[in-house]
Structure 1
């Protein structure tokens, strides 16, 4: 399974993106940031690969966005590719 994860330094911006995506009918969740991607706020927005363009457009002006990641798993474990 693959998904997109947006990591923020503030909860406020994470919730802004989350609320926007839900308003647009895009599936999204607020999740804890994995240890490998540790950030100060400890939360991120998770969404589907399909929603990549919508989510990236919505996050473009959120100053606390650290980065987006494509998250995927294989036999060796979970991997995070910056996008």
Structure 2
């Protein structure tokens, strides 16, 4: 194997390791998961390695729900209105 192949292979391994660590930390800190689902995802990531990390990142509930988006928008509108009222 030549030097370029070793460097490329090492880069791929480091990228997969980074993806795996990111998925594991994300699963542990994900507030949208209850404790049983969090434990299940951590076990899947640990036991199935790269595939488990990829599955977690693709299908786990990481994105805000529509209700959370509406609530955040309402809070931003309220805050903007309060700033306008303070200036008046």
Do both proteins adopt the same fold according to a TM-score greater than 0.5, normalized to the shorter chain?
Answer: no
Q: Which has the higher helix share?
A: 2
Q: Which has the higher strand share?
A: 1
- Which has the larger Rg? 2
Higher relative contact order (CA 8 A, sep 6+): 1
What is the TM-score normalised by the length of structure 2?
0.27
What is the TM-score normalised by the length of structure 1?
0.28
